[in-house]
Each structure stands twice: as C-alpha cells, then as structure tokens.
A and B are shown apart, each in its own frame.
Chain A
Amino acid sequence: MRIIRLLSMGWFFQFKMISRSAFDGIGQVIYPLFFATVAFFVFRAGDSPRTLLYASLGAAVMGMWSATSTTAGSAMQRERWYGTLELLVGTPVHFALVLLPVTIAMATIGIYSLFATLLWGWLLFGIDVTIVHPLQFALSVPVTVLSFGALGFLFAVCFVRFRAAWALGNMFEYPVWLVCGFLVPLTFFPDWVKPISWVLAPTWGMNAIRESSLGGAPLDDMLMCLFLGTFYVAAGVLVTNRALRSARERSSLSLT
C-alpha cells in the first residue's frame, strides 16, 4: 500500500512539474502538428482513408515516444541541474521507487501528444479518426504509456552515473520510430531488424493501438507490451543499486 502511495504521489508531483513548463508546452503544441503533417504527406498517395489513420496513429505514437525518450535521457541531468538528484538519492526509499514515477509522468505527457496529433490530422487534413474498438483503444493507450515509462526508467537508471547521458536519450528517439514500425510497416525491413523490434515494448504498444483503432485483435499485443514493461522495471530495479553505487564512487551525482 505504501509503495502504491509513494509511486502515485511521486507521479503526481512530477507530472505537475513537467506540465507547468511553458517551453515544453510550446513543443507539445508544435510537435504533434509536425507529426500529423508528416503522416499526411507520406501517406496521402494511398487510396484508402484508413491508411491515413494508420499513419496518423504512427505519428501520434511517435510523439509519445519522443516525449518519453528525450526526457528520460535528460531526467537525471535535469535533477542534477536542480541540485535535487543528491537529495533524491539521499532519501531512505529504494531509488527505483523515486525514479519510476518520474519517467511514467513523462510518458503520461505523451498521451496529450497522441490525441493532439490525431486532432490536428482531423482538423487540418480531414483524416477520418473513427476508432473501431474504443474500449480496447482506451485500454491500449495506458498500457503503452506504462511500457514507455518502464523503458524510460530502464534508460534513466542506466544513465544515472553519466553526466552527459542526456545525449543518449536523443539518440534513441529516431531509431525507435523506425524499428518499432511507427510510420513504416516492419515488413519493409530486413529480417535481422525484427528481433530488435520484438524486444522493444513500443512495437507492441503501436500494434495494440492500431489494431484497436482499425479493427483487429489487440489483446496479445497489449499483453506482450505489459510483459516487456514488467521486464524493463525488473531489470531496472536490479541495476539501480549497482548504478547508484557506481555514481557514488565516481562522484557523478552532482554537477561538479
């Protein structure tokens, strides 16, 4: 019970903090517009209106992933800048319980990006955004958000000992767009890419959202997404103490 309270309060305060940034807010308005435009121009050659929805959903999840990956990479650096990383590490709770709500809060911001992209597509380009299975869609979105947050958590834990790790977060942004099939179907890629896609939860989250929107069976994708998310959290928890010890040895918890 205490852990649930700690996670939910941590999420609440982190979400409150992130959602109050004016500059991040501008990006959240402009990026979805950009993603919706890309999706429209890439796929307008297709003759089916559902192809445009397929692309719009991909673009929407791109926004979600961008919000998570870039911010997960910079999460530790942000805490260093604030001078709060040492304060967080110095608390008696397991650091995983401190960090997980941070990355899930960041992924939650991505929900806005998803809906904003779909809205822009509908308003500007007249893309039909009819969702075939609304209930399953409503379920697949939080499942995807949680798995994104879990993956971001694993990244952030691994980054904690490196002061310049924020750059790695940016590096992960674009490859995941491709290998998880956000815009281009995975069948277009060589076979060696597929195992990489399968171990990345965004692949399954994307599938779940598309299947529920376009009329398919998203349950297996959701389960796989949840399984991988749980695996990331477990791996992150196992790595946390080792990563923190290394940071304490290297004196990299503070800026100087």
Chain B
Amino acid sequence: MAVVETLDLRRTYRTHTGTVRRRVKEIEAVKGVSFEIERGKLFGLLGPNGAGKTTTIKMLITLLIPTGGTARVLGYDVVKDAQEVRKRIGYVFGGERGVYERLSGYDNLRYFAELYSVPPKIQKQRIEELLELVGLKGREHERTEGYSRGMKQRLHVARGLLHDPEVLFLDEPTIGLDPVGARELRATIASLIDAGKTILLTTHYMFEADALCDQIAVISQGQIVAEGTPEQLKSRVASGSVTEVEVYGIPDDTVERLRGLDGVLSVWVEEREQAQVLSVQSRADIQLTAAILGHLNGTSVGRVSHREPTLEDAYVALVKEE
C-alpha cells in the first residue's frame, strides 16, 4: 500500500478584485494531481515558483482543504482524519519564518515537543539527539533571533522530527541556503531515508531532485507534466542537440512556428537580463540553424550557439512548454 496517495487532487483559490464593484476571481492552483509514494522512498515534486508545489504539500499536511479529488497519508484521509494524519507526519517549510525568535532554539523544540505529545521522560534525550543531528549543539540556548538562515532551517528540520514521524514533507528546505549549508541539509535528508522515513520533497533545483529522489514528478501550472525515476527523465534528453539563439522581443507565434519544424523536440524561451534566449532542442541528425534563423526574420538576433542537452533542459522544456 502506498504511504502517500493523491487522486485527481484539486485546489482553487478565490480572490476578489475591485473596491466598489467587487468581482470574484478563481485561480486554479492545482488541477488534478495524482501520484503515489511507496514506503521508505524519497519522492520529489519538482517545479518552478507558482507551479502548485506548496499548495499540494499543504493539502497533504492538512493545512488546506482540497476543492476536489482525494488524498490519503498512511491510509488516512487528509480531510476526514486530519488529526490522525497530523500525529504521523512531520513537515518543514523553507525560509526563515516559523520560529519563535524571542525563544531559544531549545525552547522552540521543547514547546513543539509538548504540542506533539512527546513523553516528558524522553523529551530531553530526543531534543539532544536532534540538535546533534542538525548540527545545532552548543548554540541551542541562544535566542533564535540571532540564528543565521541556515541555522533556522536546521531548527525547522529538528522540529519536524521531534515526534519521530513516519512521513516527512519538506517544502523547498534548501531555499536560500549557502552551498555548504544546502549540501549539509541534503546529507541530513539522505540519512533520514536510510533511517526508513518516507519523504516528499518539493524543490525547483533539478540537481537536488536528481541527487536525492527515487522518483520525481515535474509539476507545472498545477499539473504533473512528467513522472519517473531521475534516470527515466534523463533518458528524455539523452540524444539530440540544443541550439541557443539570443533574441530581443521574439513574438509568441514565431515560437509556435518553430515548434512545428520537422525534427524539433521542444522549444522554450528564457529571460536573461535585457535579452531572451531561445532554446530549440532537436534530433541530433538534423541541422536546423538556418531554418530557425529564417523564422526569426524581423526579430533582432544576437549570438547563436550549439551544445549537448542536459538534464536541466528536460526540466526547462517540460515547464516552459506547458
């Protein structure tokens, strides 16, 4: 039985516009997401900002009620059995918020240990172990307002593990961390998998998902656009080549026309400072430079280059093509 399972999960937000004439606007943040996570696996939900990763995770940890579909964690429905789900899960949000800054790191953990019903007899030992695990030993009695971003992030991880949950939800845990801090945190996450935890990790770093995850789902505009092991996703770009063209103000219909060229696998445009970079991934046996430049007639064009496709290309192509 899957530890986490979602079926056609949906969430729509209602917002209002206007002051006098108030209009209701509906935004579909998650549009029918389905996936399963097996026990002891690390599942990565990969997508750009605003793709629906955090909304999905918040529905799974019972902080948001879905507007459609179902989700179960360890067999418990996240809406009907919210308390049962909460007892068995831990979660960590990225960023500096989520700590009581006027309390020490130790007091933060003690407070949440009480809220998670950690028996008083084992609280102290458990907190000591976690402080050791996340590398905060020796700094635990300082107020958290003096903690660096990385220290706060590690405190989040310790808090999420206080009640020894079976399932962990990590929402962009390495966001904003320096490379060393992020690497240490990734090592901690890997050790949790070794300890038998089931983890759902959201991230927008392809290399992070590649390094840690057993299974990856790429989410874009509220929908899962690809799912598989990192190797399966990599195989999507194992062949072919990428032509990159620096352009200025490329029209949308030109991009669409390029997508229709014979041999083109995917096309996407990225904003880079004052210019845009048009990337066209194509079959290796076809030379498309002349055809691409022909379609760019009338658009200002800069440097043109060719390179081998990377895993990052697969991700960018997936999220840009939607």
Partners in one complex: yes
Which A residues fall within an 8 A CB radius of B?
2, 5-6, 9-10, 13, 16-17, 20-21, 81-84, 86-93, 98, 245, 248-249, 251, 253
Selected from B13, B99, B111, the residue in CB contact (under 8 A) with A13 is B111
Taking a contact as CB atoms under 8 Å apart, the answer to whether B120 and A84 are in contact is no
Tell me the minimal C-beta distance from A23 to chain B in angstroms: 11
Residue B61, interface by CB 8 Å:
yes
Selected from B86, B107, B120, the residue in CB contact (under 8 A) with A91 is B86
Cross-chain pairs A/B with CB under 8 angstroms, 18 sampled = A10-B114, A13-B110, A13-B111, A17-B103, A20-B102, A82-B99, A82-B100, A83-B99, A84-B97, A84-B98, A84-B100, A86-B98, A89-B63, A91-B116, A92-B115, A92-B117, A248-B65, A253-B63
Selected from A9, A13, A16, A92, the residue in CB contact (under 8 A) with B83 is A92
CA of A203 to CA of B102 in the docked complex: distance in angstroms?
34
Selected from B63, B98, B111, the residue in CB contact (under 8 A) with A82 is B98
Residue B91, interface by CB 8 Å:
yes
Tell me the minimal C-beta distance from A92 to chain B in angstroms: 4
Tell me the minimal C-beta distance from B171 to chain A in angstroms: 11
Taking a contact as CB atoms under 8 Å apart, the answer to whether A90 and B117 are in contact is no
Name which residue of chain B comes closest to A249, CB basis. B65
Name which residue of chain B comes closest to A8, CB basis. B114
Residues of chain B contacted by A90 (CB below 8 angstroms): 61-63, 86, 91
A-B contact count (CB 8 A): 75
Residue B95, interface by CB 8 Å:
yes
Selected from B58, B87, B93, B103, the residue in CB contact (under 8 A) with A92 is B87
Taking a contact as CB atoms under 8 Å apart, the answer to whether A83 and B115 are in contact is no
Name which residue of chain B comes closest to A17, CB basis. B102
Name which residue of chain B comes closest to A84, CB basis. B98
Which B residues fall within an 8 A CB radius of A?
13, 58, 61-65, 83, 86-87, 91, 93, 95, 97-103, 107, 110-112, 114-117, 120, 159
Tell me the minimal C-beta distance from A107 to chain B in angstroms: 19
Beyond A16-B102, A86-B93, A91-B112, 9 additional pairs, beta carbon < 8 A? A10-B111, A10-B115, A16-B103, A81-B97, A82-B98, A82-B99, A84-B98, A87-B112, A89-B63
Taking a contact as CB atoms under 8 Å apart, the answer to whether A88 and B115 are in contact is yes
Residues of chain A contacted by B103 (CB below 8 angstroms): 13, 16-17
Taking a contact as CB atoms under 8 Å apart, the answer to whether B100 and A83 are in contact is no
Name which residue of chain A comes closest to B104, CB basis. A16
Taking a contact as CB atoms under 8 Å apart, the answer to whether B115 and A98 are in contact is yes
Residues of chain B contacted by A6 (CB below 8 angstroms): 114-115
CA of A21 to CA of B102 in the docked complex: distance in angstroms?
8
Residues of chain B contacted by A93 (CB below 8 angstroms): 115, 117
From A2, A90, A248, name the one whose CB has the most chain B CB atoms within 10 angstroms.
Answer: A90
Name which residue of chain A comes closest to B160, CB basis. A87
Tell me the minimal C-beta distance from B101 to chain A in angstroms: 7
Taking a contact as CB atoms under 8 Å apart, the answer to whether B120 and A5 are in contact is yes
Name which residue of chain B comes closest to A250, CB basis. B14
CA of A253 to CA of B58 in the docked complex: distance in angstroms?
11
Tell me the minimal C-beta distance from A75 to chain B in angstroms: 13
Taking a contact as CB atoms under 8 Å apart, the answer to whether A86 and B63 are in contact is yes
Tell me the minimal C-beta distance from B51 to chain A in angstroms: 16
Residues of chain B contacted by A13 (CB below 8 angstroms): 100, 103, 107, 110-111
Taking a contact as CB atoms under 8 Å apart, the answer to whether B111 and A9 are in contact is yes
Name which residue of chain A comes closest to B96, CB basis. A83
Tell me the minimal C-beta distance from B281 to chain A in angstroms: 35
Residues of chain A contacted by B58 (CB below 8 angstroms): 86
Residues of chain B contacted by A245 (CB below 8 angstroms): 65
Name which residue of chain A comes closest to B84, CB basis. A92
Tell me the minimal C-beta distance from A249 to chain B in angstroms: 5
CA of A88 to CA of B62 in the docked complex: distance in angstroms?
12
CA of A13 to CA of B109 in the docked complex: distance in angstroms?
11
Residues of chain A contacted by B65 (CB below 8 angstroms): 245, 248-249
Name which residue of chain B comes closest to A87, CB basis. B98
Name which residue of chain A comes closest to B97, CB basis. A83
Residues of chain B contacted by A21 (CB below 8 angstroms): 102
CA of A248 to CA of B63 in the docked complex: distance in angstroms?
6
CA of A10 to CA of B116 in the docked complex: distance in angstroms?
12
CA of A232 to CA of B146 in the docked complex: distance in angstroms?
39
Residues of chain B contacted by A249 (CB below 8 angstroms): 65
Closest 5 CB pairs of A and B: A83-B97, A83-B98, A91-B115, A92-B86, A92-B87
Tell me the minimal C-beta distance from B161 to chain A in angstroms: 14
CA of A87 to CA of B83 in the docked complex: distance in angstroms?
13
Residues of chain B contacted by A251 (CB below 8 angstroms): 13, 64
Residues of chain A contacted by B101 (CB below 8 angstroms): 82
Residues of chain B contacted by A10 (CB below 8 angstroms): 111, 114-115
Taking a contact as CB atoms under 8 Å apart, the answer to whether B63 and A17 are in contact is no
CA of A89 to CA of B100 in the docked complex: distance in angstroms?
15
Taking a contact as CB atoms under 8 Å apart, the answer to whether A17 and B100 are in contact is yes
Taking a contact as CB atoms under 8 Å apart, the answer to whether B98 and A9 are in contact is no
Tell me the minimal C-beta distance from B26 to chain A in angstroms: 13
Tell me the minimal C-beta distance from A3 to chain B in angstroms: 11
